[in-house]
Amino acid sequence: MSKPSNFLKLLDDFINNYLPFSVGLSLNTVTSYKYAFRLLIEFMFAKKGIPADKIIFAHLDYNTLLEFFNWIEKDRGCSIATKNQRLSAILSFSAYAQNRDLLAASIFRTSVLKIPMKKGHGKPRAVFTTQEISILLRLPNEHSEIGIRNKVLLSLMYASGARAQEICNLTVVDIEFLSKGTRLKLNGKGGKARRIGIPDNCGKILQKYITHRRIANKPDRHVFSSQTHEKMTISCIEGIFNKYVTQAKNENPVLFKESSYPPHSMRHATGSHMLEAGVPIVVIKNFLGHKSIQSTQIYAELTQNTIEKHLKEWNDKWFSHNSGELKATEPYDKKIPDFLSIK
C-alpha cells in the first residue's frame, strides 16, 4: 500500500487513539467502529474502484454515501439496526475529521449529516444488553449520597425485575436477609404481592445501604427516598434513568441505540437475560409476577432478536458476500489497512 491519504491518517488516529483513550470506549465498541469502516473501504474498492490508500474526503459526497448505505442494507443484508449503527460510527468520525481538517472534511461531514437514521417497522421494545447494564451500573458516583442510592436502586431493579412502582413501595419490612439469601416482598399491580429471591451480591449491597441509612430498625420506612419525599415517586425513578442513559449514550455512542429507555426497560432486560441464561419461562413468569404466560412470551421474541443479531454479526464477519469485481484481484483483506484488522 502506498503513502496513505489524509483520510486514512485521520481514521487511523480516530480508531487507535481517539476512541480508546480520549473517549474511553471498550475494545468491543472500537471493533464495531472498525467494521463500519471496513465495509466503507470495501464498498469504495468494489463499486468505485478506489483502493483504501487513494480515498480522499472529496470522494465521500452525499450520493456516494447514500449508495454505500443502500449497498450494506440491500447487498450485504444488514438490518436497519446494524445500518444505523454503521451510520453512527461514520457520523462520529466525520465530526472528528472536520475538527482536524475543516477544509477537506467539511463536504464529508455535511453529506453524512444529510443521511437520516432509518426507522424500523413498529416501535421496538427498549431492552438493555448485558454490556449496557454493566455500563449503567458503573456510572453512579459512590462518593455521594445520591450516587450510592442510585447505584443500589439500579442494581436492585435489574436483580429483581421489579416495576418502578414496586421499587417505590418497597419498605424495610418487605426485605428478609437470610443465611440462604435475600428475599423481597414486592407489592405489585392490583395490590397483589409476590416473594422473590435476589442474587447474594445485590442482597449484600442492599443490606449495607439500609444500614448506611440507619433505617434497619424502622420497618415502615421506605428503602428509597427522594431529596424531598420519604417515599420515592415513579417520576423520580424516570429522572434517574434519563440521567444515566443520557450519560451512557454520550460516552458510548455505538451502544444505547433506542431513542429512550423508560424504567421498564430494566424489567425487560431482566426477563430477556434470564431466558438467555436458560431459566424456564414459567419460572420467569412467576418471578416477574405476570398473570399469564403470554405476557412472559415477549421475552422469547426479544431473545430471538438477540440471537439473530449475533448470527448476523457472525455471518458478516465470516461469510461476507463476494463481489464479482473482486474475483480477478488479490484477496480483499490485503487491501484493508492494518489498523482496521479484527483480531
Grid-cell match 421494545, residue found: 125
Cell numbers at 263, concatenated: 424504567
Transcribe 57-95 into DSSP letters: GGG--HHHHHHHHHHHHHTS---HHHHHHHHHHHHHHHH
Among the listed residues 76, 83, 151, 267, the single catalytic one is 267
Nearest to 248 by CA among 257, 239, 237, 238: 257
Nearest to 88 by CA among 335, 202, 255: 255
Spatial contact of 257 and 163, defined as CB atoms under 8 Å apart: no
For residue 38, indicate whether it is catalytic. no
Can you give the C-alpha Rg of the chain in angstroms?
24
For residue 189, indicate whether it is catalytic. yes
Q: Is 187 helix (H, G, I), strand (E, B) or coil?
A: strand
Nearest to 173 by CA among 217, 219, 207: 219
For residue 222, indicate whether it is catalytic. no
For residue 243, indicate whether it is catalytic. no
Q: 266-275 burial, b for 16+ CB within 10 Å, e for fewer?
A: bbbbbbbbbb
Among the listed residues 9, 118, 189, 229, the single catalytic one is 189
Q: How far is Cα 177 from Cα 335, in angstroms, rounded to an integer?
A: 60
Among the listed residues 163, 213, 268, 335, the single catalytic one is 163
Nearest to 40 by CA among 28, 49, 52, 29: 52
Among the listed residues 47, 264, 309, 312, the single catalytic one is 264
Spatial contact of 158 and 133, defined as CB atoms under 8 Å apart: yes
Spatial contact of 192 and 216, defined as CB atoms under 8 Å apart: no
Write out the catalytic residue numbers: 163, 189, 264, 267, 290, 299
